[in-house]
A and B are shown apart, each in its own frame.
Chain A
Amino acid sequence: MPETQAVTKKTNPLPIEALKCGHCGKLVPGPREICPACHEPALVPHMAAGSGALSSWTMIRRPPAAFREEKEYAVAIVTLDAGIKVTGRLETPDDRLEPGARVLAVGFHKGVPVFRAV
């Protein structure tokens, strides 16, 4: 995945790279070395649909040094429809957004999915 990819304005969600075990079929968010279910080193990349439910979000107003140039940004936990949880960015922070709101992956920032509430 490129270091930075422009956030697109598509309404179709972008796929998010996860991992699937070639041995037992378990789907897990990456990165991981071995399958948490069967413990085989058989995880292979698997594209999961970038749609899901917002679990929570926060606005980071004091970033660590590596993100300082961004000043502030919203981080979200999203439970994808595929059943896995990912930590990404939220393009549309809004205090009216409740846990459970529908979100779609609309781009990537430094390899991290960026979600938009729909």
Chain B
Amino acid sequence: MREVVVTGIGSTPFGKLEGRRIESLAIEAANAALHRAGLDRKSVGAVYLGNFVAGPLSGQEVLAGIVADELGLENVPCTKVEGACASGGIAFRHAVLAVSSGLCDAALVVGVEKMTHATGGQVTQALNCAMDNRSDGPSGLTFPGLFGLAWRIHAAKYGTTRDEVSAVVIKNKANGLKNPLAQMGASLSLDVIRQSQMIADPLQLYDCCPVSDGAAALVVVAKDRARGAPDLPIDILAAVQTRGSARIAGHEDVVSFEATVKAAERAYAAASVGPKDIDFVELHDCFSMAEVIDSEDLGLVPRGEGAKWAAQGRTGMDGDIPINPSGGLLAKGHPVGATGVGQLYETVLQLRGQHSNQVKDAAIGMTHNLGGTGVACTVSILRRPDA
């Protein structure tokens, strides 16, 4: 397998992007990434586009081909990949496979979603396609509900409190204030969070990521073909994908997702690094409790202590392991199919030392993208080339 790097990156802001079509968002981000990659478009040998709900919410499929056509790419394979909220991370992994295996020298990765034009009920219904609708769906369960269920178990097992979980929200919302692409940065207090609307008890309004529009893109290139790139190429040490059970009954309990645990194990092995070598992580905080669980599953925080570490500041910008310096899904937003690619975009900026909320001396970064009821997961590890 060849060594691969990320060269050009591009992104729209995440948020409520009114009057924009989904194709337009994807093309904007992808064209920016191609411009910054400094390569001949003829050398792009494949396109992988992560998207989840363009069919039900925008009535548009075949987005990968539409985007490639506008970008003036050759008649190369253009593939949409879907793994619910992990669609973007999966698109990235496929591009890495295509380039590292030698199938092509460069591949374009795009993630895109357009959601805010739909009603809340339509969005919830579309997102519920990510459940195994033979088993959990008929009960009326929702994704906030899944993490409400997880919260009670986490609290009973580990004594996790409302205010400890709020520390995750306060941290990510504050980080979001420093990210110009973020939808909902905010300066929040424990009281404001405690008094917010109940969504899926004990999960409240500020525990949930917003509904978002947005697109992100990056170009994956063979390292020996990236010498002319204008921006510092970032090494890809691991791009792992796993599956887990699509239904609650298939999990031991819902305070750990085996897809994340396995993906992390394999990513550490592939990159020949351990959790202590990771300088920061962009992980899948679709809900505050999700960040708690993810941080434990990734081995970055001891089991049961995810919320306590947040409350102690150990996952803050100057903590043991900064989590979601971008603001994460909670503050940056969660345009579902774009999220995984957006996490990589943020990670590349950090490793170039160019992030607006820079982690000091960041040399190795991790991303974690989780789909459905833990049915699909990707974990990637990237490194600054001089580290």
* Chain A residues near B (Cβ < 8 Å): 29-32, 55-68, 70, 73, 75, 77, 84-89, 93, 95, 98-100, 110-112
Measured between beta carbons, the chain A residues less than 8 angstroms from B161 are: none
B140 touches A58 (CB 8 A): no
Please determine whether A111 and B121 come into contact, CB atoms closer than 8 angstroms: no
With A58-B200, A63-B142, A75-B140 in contact, is A29–B135 under 8 Å at CB? Answer: yes
- When distances are taken between beta carbons in the complex, the residues of chain A under 8 Å from B197 are 61
User: B156 contacts A98, CB within 8 Å?
Assistant: yes
User: Within residues 136 to 152 of chain B, which ones have a CB less than 8 A from any CB in chain A?
Assistant: 136, 138-142, 144-145, 148-152
- Which 7 A/B pairs are nearest by Cβ-Cβ distance? A58-B148, A65-B121, A64-B124, A85-B249, A56-B149, A67-B140, A65-B125
Please report the C-alpha to C-alpha distance between residue A84 and residue B247 in the assembled complex, in whole angstroms.
13
Q: Is the CB of A75 within 8 A of B134?
A: no
Whole-angstrom CA separation of A23 from B150 in the bound complex: 34
Question: B122, B136, B203: which contacts A58 (Cβ < 8 A)?
Answer: B203
Contact B199 A62 (CB under 8 A): yes
Other-chain residue from B138, B151, B200 in contact with A112 (beta carbon distance below 8 A) = B138
Interfacial chain A residues near B153, Cβ < 8 Å: 55-56, 99
A64 touches B125 (CB 8 A): yes
Closest to B245 in A: A36
B254 within 8 A of A: yes
Main secondary structure, interface of A, reads mixed
Interface size class of B (residues with CB under 8 A): 35 or more
**Complex-state Cα separation, A57 to B136, whole angstroms:** 13
In whole Å, how far is A105's beta carbon from the nearest beta carbon of chain B?
13
Which residue on A lies nearest to B198, using beta carbons? A61
B248 at the interface (CB under 8 A from A): yes
B201 in the interface (beta carbon within 8 A): yes
Chain B residues contacting A111 (CB-CB under 8 Å) are: 138
Closest residue of A by beta carbon distance from B201:
A59
Known: A98-B156, A99-B153. A62 touches B144 (CB 8 A): yes
A73 cross-chain contacts in B, Cβ below 8 A: 140
Minimal beta-carbon separation of A28 from chain B (angstroms): 8
Considering the complex, give the chain B residue whose CB is closest to the CB of A65: B121
Known contacts A29-B249, A66-B125, A98-B156; is-contact A61 B140 (Cβ 8 Å): no
CA distance A24 to B319 in the complex (A): 52
Contact assessment for A60 and B249 in the assembled complex, using a CB-CB cutoff below 8 Å: no
State whether A62 and B140 are in contact (beta carbons under 8 Å apart), knowing that A55-B253, A77-B149, A87-B249 are contacts in the complex. no
